[in-house]
Each structure stands twice: as structure tokens, then as C-alpha cells.
A = this chain, B = another copy of it.
Amino acid sequence: MSRFLAACRREPVDRPPVWIMRQAGRYLPEYREVRARAGSFLALCRTPPLAAEVTLQPIRRFGFDAAIIFSDILLPLAPMGVEFQFPDEGGPRLGRPLARPQDWERLAAPADGGGTAFVAEAIARVLPQLPQGVALIGFCGAPWTLASYLLEGRGSSDHGAARAALVAHPEEFRRLLATLADAMAAYLRQQVAMGVHAVQVFDSWALALPAETYADFVIPALERLLHGLDGTGVARIVYASGAHIVPLLADLPCEAVSVDWRIGLAAAAEALPDKAVQGNLDPTTLLASPEVVRTATHEMLQAAPARGFIANLGHGILPTTPLEAVSAFVDTVRGAP
């Protein structure tokens, strides 16, 4: 079993496995070259040979222990009838936000998992090119984070429209989360069928919600999604932002929890006694000198649990990150016991 999967299952490893969220991304010159060739971000995602190529680039350069298939959490919403654009500057925009409950009711996933075959093909292309012992991770957005995108129409600093809709229409909102959970479970099963070794569910905007609301509305939807992978044998990781959210994830049917920089790794491990923990260096740390990165990475490793730990950042790597900082991070983890 790969070092990465062993850590997910809290089995002993020679050293912590390491990968970086958004490791296939703009901080890499070779990524920018392929991205320019593709013409647009969406074209890059939807052209399997190019998506496979950028998935593999960071593995070649840094020797990460896991690759994550290149895609975006919004793509599986397209076959559900959601239109969006990825402008070159700023985040993605929905053609029309789904503001009202009657808009949500119309969302439906195609039963055959259609509309995302390009992801399946990219996975098929990556697998034979992966070095021995490197795991491939599939992923999707979590129901709450996707719901916020659908309601806000774009990234939001406070997710006010989504939070307001949840309060105003709680039962319809629960159904929306369940619909998204079912659609994402089907999307992940498609990725598992193609051979990914692990999946990560990104609840990037968990942070916006109070703990009680998260426990009441979001946890059941996450359970529904994760149970959709029961019996597949795939390792399941849940990423959720917000220190107050972490303890709520302790009983989820997943093997690992990926935490942001707001919580210490020791506190996270204590709150999640049955899970592996992934994280959590603040990505802005990688904007500092290699020496600062090494010190901060050492501190992170010292707080990490001895078993069931996957080194990563607390959020996606920033596009302006220098390559030396990534090397300093990875090399420091590799030197760890």
C-alpha cells in the first residue's frame, strides 16, 4: 500500500506522506505553459490529455506522494443544468444564481453520470503514468460549498445569500443539500470506478456557518455523500475550513479530515480520535523565505500526530508562491521521521 493510503488508514509509515492542495496550478511555469496552450481554464479541464499532463507535472517536479486529478468542483454541476464561466481574472461566475427554492427543485443529476466523461478519461490517462507508490485522488465539492456557489452565483466573503436562504427555507435547503450529496456521490463513484485510490470532499466554506447549523444541516448531507461510497474501499478525506467545524466531523464515515491553519494539528487530532489528519501549513507561509518555511514546517510536524498524518497546506497553494518555498516545505517533510 502506498505511504499516502497507509497514512489515511492510520497505519505506520516511514515518514509522513506529502502533497499540496492545488499543486497542479499557476505557481508552476510548466502549468502556465499548458494552460496557455489550452486557451481557457475550462478547456484545460475538459481536454483529458492536457488535464492528465498538469495532474502529473507537480509529481515530476516535487515527487509528491499523491496526485489529485485536475478539475474544478463546479464542473459536475454543468450536467445538472447549471451554467457558469471561468473568467481569466476573479473566480467563477454562474450565469444565473439559483436564488429561489423553486430553482433548486429543478436541479437533477443525470442518472448515468453523464457530462463528466472527460474527468474519467483524464483519470485513465494519469494512472499508467503515475510513479510506483504515488496515489491518485479524485474530488468533489461538498454540498454546502456547492450550494453557496449556486445561491451566491460566485465566491463570496460572507455567503450571506446562502445563509439567509438556509434560514428562510430550511426544508427546501435540506433537500438541495441532499440532491447535491447524491449527485456528488455518483460523480465520485464514477472516479472510483476509473481507479482513483482516494477521494477528497472540499467544504471550503464550512467556516461561514455556526456549529449548530453545520451539525444540523451539513453533517447529514456529508454523511449521505460519504455513505454513497460504502463498499468501494476508497479512502475518503473531508476538507473543512474553520476550527469550530473540526470537532463536528469526528463521526463522519471517512478515513481522514483535512484541516485549515486555524486549528493546531494537536487539537485537530485530539478532536478526531478515529481519523487521520491532513494539513495544515498556512499557504501564505510559502510566500516567505525558504528558511521561514522550514521553521514553520518543523513546527507543524512537531504538532502532528505520530500516526495517521498527511502533510499538506491548510488551503490551496497561492499562485504567487515561489518554487523554492515548495521545495523547502516538501524537503522538510521528507526529512521528518
- Which positions in A face B, CB cutoff 8 Å? 155, 157-158, 160, 163-164, 167-168, 207, 209-212, 242-244, 261-264, 282-285, 287-289, 292, 296, 315, 318
Please tell me if the beta carbons of B212 and A167 are within 8 angstroms of each other in the complex.
Answer: no
Q: A157-B155, A242-B243, A243-B244 are in contact. Are A262 and B164 (CB under 8 A)?
A: no
In the complex, A287 Cα to B167 Cα: how many Å? 8
When C-beta atoms are compared, the residue in chain B nearest to A280 turns out to be: B210
Q: A155-B157, A167-B292, A296-B167 are in contact. Are A210 and B261 (CB under 8 A)?
A: yes
In the complex, A168 Cα to B243 Cα: how many Å? 24
In the complex, A167 Cα to B243 Cα: how many Å? 20
Please tell me if the beta carbons of A211 and B296 are within 8 angstroms of each other in the complex.
Answer: no
The main secondary structure of chain A at its interface with chain B is loop
List, in ascending order, chain B residues with CB within 8 A of A284's CB. Answer: 160, 163-164, 167
Closest CB of chain B to A180's CB: distance in Å?
20
In the complex, A287 Cα to B169 Cα: how many Å? 11
Q: A243-B242, A318-B160 are in contact. Are A211 and B167 (CB under 8 A)?
A: no
30 A-B residue pairings within 8 Å (CB atoms) = A155-B157, A157-B157, A158-B315, A160-B283, A160-B284, A160-B318, A163-B284, A164-B285, A164-B287, A167-B282, A167-B284, A167-B285, A167-B288, A167-B292, A167-B296, A168-B288, A168-B289, A168-B292, A207-B207, A207-B262, A210-B262, A210-B263, A210-B282, A211-B262, A211-B263, A242-B243, A242-B244, A243-B243, A243-B244, A244-B263
When C-beta atoms are compared, the residue in chain B nearest to A163 turns out to be: B284
Please tell me if the beta carbons of A168 and B211 are within 8 angstroms of each other in the complex.
Answer: no
When C-beta atoms are compared, the residue in chain B nearest to A243 turns out to be: B244
List, in ascending order, chain B residues with CB within 8 A of A287's CB. Answer: 160, 164, 167-168
Closest CB of chain B to A218's CB: distance in Å?
14
In the complex, A180 Cα to B93 Cα: how many Å? 37
List, in ascending order, chain B residues with CB within 8 A of A262's CB. Answer: 207, 209-211, 242, 244
List, in ascending order, chain B residues with CB within 8 A of A163's CB. Answer: 282, 284
List of 9 A-B pairs having minimum Cβ-Cβ separation, nearest first: A243-B244, A164-B284, A163-B284, A164-B287, A168-B288, A157-B157, A167-B288, A210-B261, A167-B285
Please tell me if the beta carbons of B264 and A211 are within 8 angstroms of each other in the complex.
Answer: yes
- Add 20 more A-B contacts to A158-B315, A167-B285 (CB < 8 A): A157-B157, A160-B283, A160-B287, A160-B318, A163-B282, A164-B288, A167-B292, A168-B289, A168-B292, A207-B207, A209-B262, A210-B261, A210-B262, A210-B264, A210-B282, A211-B263, A211-B264, A212-B264, A242-B244, A243-B244
In the complex, A328 Cα to B275 Cα: how many Å? 43
In the complex, A85 Cα to B210 Cα: how many Å? 33
List, in ascending order, chain B residues with CB within 8 A of A283's CB. Answer: 160
In the complex, A296 Cα to B213 Cα: how many Å? 12
List, in ascending order, chain B residues with CB within 8 A of A244's CB. Answer: 242-244, 262-263
When C-beta atoms are compared, the residue in chain B nearest to A303 turns out to be: B212
In the complex, A205 Cα to B318 Cα: how many Å? 20
In the complex, A23 Cα to B168 Cα: how many Å? 22
List, in ascending order, chain B residues with CB within 8 A of A288's CB. Answer: 164, 167-168
Closest CB of chain B to A166's CB: distance in Å?
8
List, in ascending order, chain B residues with CB within 8 A of A164's CB. Answer: 284-285, 287-288
